[in-house]
Amino acid sequence: MDVDGDELYHITRTGREIRMGNFKEPSAESIRSGTAGLGITWDSTIGWASFKEHGAWRPPRYRIEEFKKGIPYQLAEPYDPDALGQGDVIDIEDWIPRYAFSETGGEGSPSADDLLASGRYDVLEAVAERTNRQHTPYGGGTSPFQNACYDLGFEGLMESMVLEPELVHRATATHLPKPSPRFEANKRSGIGVIYLFQMFGSGDLFGPREFETFVAPVVKVALDFYHERGFRVVYYPMGNATPHLEPMRDLDWDALSLEESRRNYTIDIKHVREVMGPDRVLFGNVPTDMIEHGTKEDLLKEARYQIEQAAEHGNFILSCGTPIAPGTPAERVKFFCEVPTLL
């Protein structure tokens, strides 16, 4: 793939590695396009920093035989969010499963009281007080389908959906959310919403039938789990969600958040509204590079389009398609937050 004459990345014959080519710093859009099929976002500043640090991002390696033998995915070290400082560049291959596996509250996990006393919720409490508790904070959760990728490997997960579907069902069942101190602490701290994100489930990789067979059943269980504990859930399937919209419609999420369109596919909020109907809550998918670098006129135009197509025909929250990149000027974020009042 060429971007402005420079090789952005190449995928080896086995598809296990995405490596940067020899080129100067790319645009945010180039970085996003390069990994779009995997449903992974490299937002400008942090993405470029990570690529400079590691040179490559490697999807979880093929490990079907290890999974069959009951050999668990080995983490480099126990998940410890306190060990990370602001601005640290981390290895996503190791960090994502550490975060995901912490949901099970395994042996050695701190209690909810320990978590609440650790200081990690202090900022949340300070913001709540400052805003007179008018806003509901949210916490994160991961899709069991995404987590299965670490048991089988990226290629192994894709392969098994065709050749050994029972392996996929076994792996996803392993990662269904369970009661844990982290969820208890989240609820006690005032968190009322779970952002359930999902990589490796893009429509670039498999179709609606596979989504209905392997993704929807375990996402449904996860949604029920969070609802039973009093959380509302924003479902965030990363990558190209357009081919999967119809089976997604049948899931009991409270709101749907989708990424922005990319170079090789389109996620049009108008089409999303048409499929989901007027009764479902949709988040907008304004491109984050537009928030960071675009003109105010272009940002207003995009926001107006999304509001006209989605808000006039149902419940809609203007939002960005992917997380706003570190390094985005605060005044640009402030302007985006003020956009609805300017239309």
Q: What percent of the chain has pLDDT over 70?
A: 72
* Residue 323's pLDDT band (cuts 50, 70, 90): confident
Token representation of residue 170? 């076994």
* Residue 268: predicted pLDDT: 97
What is the β-pairing status of strands 193-198 and 232-237? parallel
Count Cα neighbours of 12 within 13 Å in the Cβ-side half-sphere: 11
Please work out, in degrees rounded to the nearest 5, the angle formed at the alpha carbon of residue 229 by the alpha carbons of 202 and 115: 90
Contact assessment for residue 6 and residue 24, using Cβ atoms and an 8 Å cutoff: yes
pLDDT of residue 205 exceeding 60, the answer is: yes
CB-based contacts of 63, cutoff 8 Å, min separation 6: 71, 73, 151, 152, 153, 156
* Residue 155: predicted pLDDT: 85
Look at 49 and 138; give whichever has higher pLDDT.
138
pLDDT (average), residues 41-50:
42
* Residue 35's pLDDT band (cuts 50, 70, 90): very low
Least confidently predicted of 10-14, 197-201, 268-272, 327-331:
10-14
* Residue 289: predicted pLDDT: 87
* Residue 123: predicted pLDDT: 87
Distances in Å between the Cα of 91 and the Cα atoms of 48, 150, 174, 249 are 13, 14, 23, 34
* Residue 108: predicted pLDDT: 58
Token representation of residue 11? 């995928």
Helix (H, G, I), strand (E, B) or coil at 286: strand
Contact assessment for residue 140 and residue 186, using Cβ atoms and an 8 Å cutoff: no
Give the pLDDT confidence of 142-179 residue by residue, as tens digits: 999 998 988 898 888 988 999 999 999 999 998 899 88
* Residue 102: predicted pLDDT: 53
* Residue 341's pLDDT band (cuts 50, 70, 90): very high
Contact assessment for residue 219 and residue 251, using Cβ atoms and an 8 Å cutoff: yes
Look at 134 and 223; give whichever has higher pLDDT.
223
Give the pLDDT confidence of 84-110 residue by residue, as tens digits: 444 444 444 454 555 555 555 555 567
Taken in order of first residue, the domains within the chain and their CATH numbers are: 1-58 (no CATH), 68-260 (3.20.20.210), 268-343 (no CATH)
Contact assessment for residue 4 and residue 30, using Cβ atoms and an 8 Å cutoff: yes
User: How many C-beta neighbours within 10 Å does residue 279 have?
Assistant: 7
Torsions phi, psi for 7 (to 5 deg): -70, 120
CA distance 282 to 53: 36
CA distance 229 to 143: 17
* Residue 335: predicted pLDDT: 96
CA distance 250 to 285: 21
pLDDT of residue 223 exceeding 90, the answer is: yes
Q: Please give the mean pLDDT across all residues of the chain.
A: 78
Contact assessment for residue 145 and residue 219, using Cβ atoms and an 8 Å cutoff: yes
CB-neighbour burial class of residue 221 (10 A; exposed 0-12, middle 13-18, buried 19+): middle
Q: DSSP states of 329-343 as a string?
A: -HHHHHHHHHHHHH-
CA distance 220 to 326: 33
Give the pLDDT confidence of 244-303 residue by residue, as tens digits: 999 999 999 999 999 999 877 899 999 999 999 999 999 999 999 899 889 999 999 999
DSSP label of 31:
H
pLDDT (average), residues 309-337:
91
Angle, helix 154-163 to helix 165-174, in steps of 10 degrees: 130
Look at 14 and 306; give whichever has higher pLDDT.
306
Q: What percent of the chain has pLDDT over 90?
A: 44
* Residue 63: predicted pLDDT: 86
pLDDT of residue 37 exceeding 60, the answer is: no
> pTM (2 decimals)?
0.79
Least confidently predicted of 103-117, 156-170, 183-197, 229-243:
103-117
* Residue 80: predicted pLDDT: 53
